[in-house]
Amino acid sequence: MRKRSNIPIHGFVAPGFELVKEEFIKNFTNRGEVGAAFAVYINNEPIVDLWGGYRDRKTCAIWEQNTLVQVFSATKGFAALALSLAHSRGYINYEKTVCTYWPEFAQNGKEKITVRQLLAHQAGLSALDRLKIDNLEDLDTSRLSQSLAASKPDWEVGKFHGYHAWTIGTLIAELIKRTDPKHRTLKDFFKEEIAEPLNAEFYIGLPAEIPEDSITTIEGINHPIQLLKGMTKLPPKMLLGFLNSKSLVARSLVDPKKFVANDNFNHRPILLNFLQVTELDK
């Protein structure tokens, strides 16, 4: 791989952590990284705080200290954390059926699915082709929840597990809205109950007031280099599933019109409405 030079690197490392900075720089000079940030705290004290490179490969816009970056499946952990908080307050019981709180969910044989089974990705609702996504605005979770409530599971619930890559956030969001005494969205519940008390700039749904020049440009799987790298790392059975558009793997990870894919993750309708977390790296 061609080495790069003159990459802007900023921040600091505490004495004894100089090798961390050297390795961080190698991400750019040896490994083709575009932009990144990395921080380490020990006993609540910052030991490493580094950022460098570019937030956009094409424009070479510098990655600043306050640059925001999308994080993908990490959203699931924070959404589950929000539901766990609701559970701790007695708003919801994991052993109760989902339709106890969301009556419409009982359609098409889903009346016995418990909240615990749903959280464990056992509900059989991972496929995207059931969601009627015709434009980016249709990724609003309030619309997706109606389609999921009307859907029939793709497998016998409780016997199998299947990664709900794009649907678990909507399912959790609907349960939060239905059980929270204030009926807040997941976006607002997370913000007010978790992020703000911790003074954490971490969003589920990017606020409209955050400007474009504060956000990274994500390179989707349509980028040739990223596509090649990704394919070589997939397990063989998963790769075969991707190649068969009718397989559950393909149906669960890519929607028929390819809205939930590629460079669309840089567009405001997805960042605003879909469960795409944006985080401030410090």
Q: Map residue 134 onto helix, strand or coil.
A: coil
Ramachandran bin of 40, using left for φ above 0, alpha for ψ from -120 to 50, beta for the remaining angles: beta
CB 108 within 8 A of CB 242: no
User: CA-CA distance, 52 to 62, in Å (whole number)?
Assistant: 8
Number of other residues whose CB lies within 10 A of the CB of residue 252: 21
Residue 10 CB-density burial (10 A; 0-12 exposed, 13-18 middle, 19+ buried): middle
Active site residues: 73
Judge whether 144 and 135 are in contact, CB under 8 Å: no
Q: Which amino acid is at 202?
A: F
